[in-house]
Structure 1
Amino acid sequence: MKNSYIPALGILSLASAVICSASPVWETDWNKALEKAGKSGQPVLVDFTGSDWCPGCIYLRQNIFDAEAFAKYAEDNNFMLVELDFPRKEGKMPPEKLKFHEELMRRYGISVFPSVLMMEGNGAPYAKIVGPSRTVEEYLKKLEAAGETRLKLKEAVAAASALKGKEKLEKLVQALKLLPEDLQPYQKELIAEISVLDPEDQYGFAGKAEKAVTMAAQRLMMERFYKKYAGPFSAEKIRAGREEALQMLEKQDILPAIRLEITKYVSDGYALERNYPKALEYLKMARDADPESQAAKKLEPWIGNMQKVINKGK
């Protein structure tokens, strides 16, 4: 079954960079950090981490973020560094703060740890980096690419401001498309400007903003679902979870990514019951729920292996 949090890295070689004696200062107050960055114009690096349970998160902190080269890069580029921790050790973080971090995790669609978002002080991300890199140099290249995206976005928006009507609309749309598709809905100010010029929403960006809100709500729904059926498996729990999952699939407003996730859950239940033909049927349905997604592509080996299991049993 799917876990709520997925470490992006299991074991990495510990060939590490030189560790800086004075590590960068990390802000842990989200609102305070964004308020400061909003006033100063600083780029914000937000680290979603599991400091006491996620191997990749620990590696990223010890071998990348605590390295002298990173400290210098962060200082040179005037980064506002923000840590959003999700510890599992009891008492390490006040429950209300952890709950707020979980709300931010859902808001930004974070499902893999560690994940880093580069954003502006208004909370609009322009780049996402999932997992650590083996070396500081490799990670800094990713940050450099993120910085280039930020610069291109600012230049494109500035160029659009000198235009009017359709020309301005097209330039703003081009600017928004500089970002990965999953980050576009968070550019609320830019989308609002596009919506004024595109009242019929021909480019579909107003719909994307609404989709981001729906996605956050459905992520919360799934988190509650997983918690409800977590723990030791039993035949009764598998059947109850499947029944509820199938009821969710009947809802017409379930987004493709969530539909894939729910359908995969049903498949997993059948696999645990060794009903492999049904497990294969729902695996294929999960893939087809969001066929162009990375999650769908990752199901292909599962489908192949399940088919082999079925063929072997014939």
Structure 2
Amino acid sequence: MGSKYLCICLFLVTLLSFGQNSKSDTFWVYNLEEAKEISKKENKNIVLYFGGSDWCRPCMMLQEDFFDDYKFTTYKKAFVFLYVDIPRNRNLLTAEQKEENYKLLEAYNKKKTFPLVSILNTKGKVLEELSGYSSLRDPKYHFELLEKYN
């Protein structure tokens, strides 16, 4: 009987942990109009990130080395972060989100390079962009890009 309660407690603790981890990702916005609205209201530039969550190995490495790096947390309040995922698995996005993401792909990533990090002003104009990510796994240039517009 005691091990049954222990399993239930461990399960609840695990659920709470996952809930807290998902809250750490709440800095992402998934709609350009919402990002521009927040950007104007808070007078912040937008970081537009194109990734392929289920197929793009450089995107996965950039996620680990840049977006998940402790240094990145210092920039979370300085920008509005817009994430555009272009997965191969069509079930990962709702129909509405897929439509939004492909519109943004056509407008802001005509060469379809992944990963792509762009800095936009409050009106959605591209100020600068950085495409690709090296297998050397050095996010130095990505941090320099954020620092330049911070």
TM-score normalised by the shorter chain: which range applies? Answer: 0.7 to 0.9
List 4+ stretches of structure 1 deviating above 4 A: 21-24
Whether contact under 8 Å (2:75, 2:146) holds in the other structure is no
Counterpart of 2:146 (choices 143, 146, 152) is 143
Consecutive unaligned residues of structure 1, counting only runs of 5 or more, are 1-20, 149-314
Q: Which is richer in helix?
A: 1
> CA offsets, 1:218-271, max 9 Å, x none?
xxxxxxxxxxxxxxxxxxxxxxxxxxxxxxxxxxxxxxxxxxxxxxxxxxxxxx
| % identical equivalent positions | 26
Give the aligned residue type for 1:80: V
Select the residue among 39, 42, 57 that pairs with 1:40.
42
Q: What residue in structure 2 maps to residue 124 of structure 1? A: 125
Give the Cα separation in 1 of the matches to 2:31 and 2:141: 28
More strand by share: 2
Q: Does 1:68 align with 2:100?
A: no
Bigger radius of gyration, 1 or 2? 1
Q: Partners in 1 of 2:85 and 2:112 — Cα distance?
A: 14
Cα shift at 1:43: 0.9
1:92 and 2:92 correspond: yes
- The number of residue pairs the alignment matches comes to 125
Counterpart of 2:6 in structure 1 is none
The structure-2 alpha-carbon separation of the partners of 1:70 and 1:62, relative to structure 1 and needing over 3 Å to count, comes to same
State the SS of the aligned residue for 1:118. strand
Query: Do the aligned partners of residues 35 and 115 (structure 1) sit closer, same or farther apart at CA in structure 2, a change above 3 Å counting?
Result: same
- Residues of 2 paired with 1:105 and 1:144: CA distance? 25
Deviation at residue 132 of structure 1 after TM alignment? 2.7
Cα pair 1:45 1:79 within 8 Å, conserved: yes
Report Cα offsets for 1:150-174 as digits up to 9, x if no partner.
xxxxxxxxxxxxxxxxxxxxxxxxx
Residues 7-27 of structure 1: per-residue CA shift (max 9 Å, x gap): xxxxxxxxxxxxxx8567211
Q: Shift in Å at residue 99 of structure 1?
A: 2.1
Distance 1:90 1:101, change over 3 A: closer
Which SS does the other structure have where 2:27 is aligned? coil
Contact 1:45 1:119 in 2 (8 A): yes
Structure 1 vs Structure 2 CA RMSD: 2.1
The aligned amino acid for 2:143 is: L
Amino acid at match of 1:38: K
TM-score between the two structures when normalised by the length of structure 1: 0.37
Residues 32 and 38 (structure 1), Cα distance of their counterparts in 2 relative to 1, 3 Å cut = same
SS at match of 1:34: helix
Alignment of 1:144-159 (within 5 A): 144-145=147-148, 147=149
Query: Aligned with 1:139: secondary structure?
Result: helix
> Which is worse superposed, 92-101 or 46-55?
92-101
Matched residue, 1:55 = 57
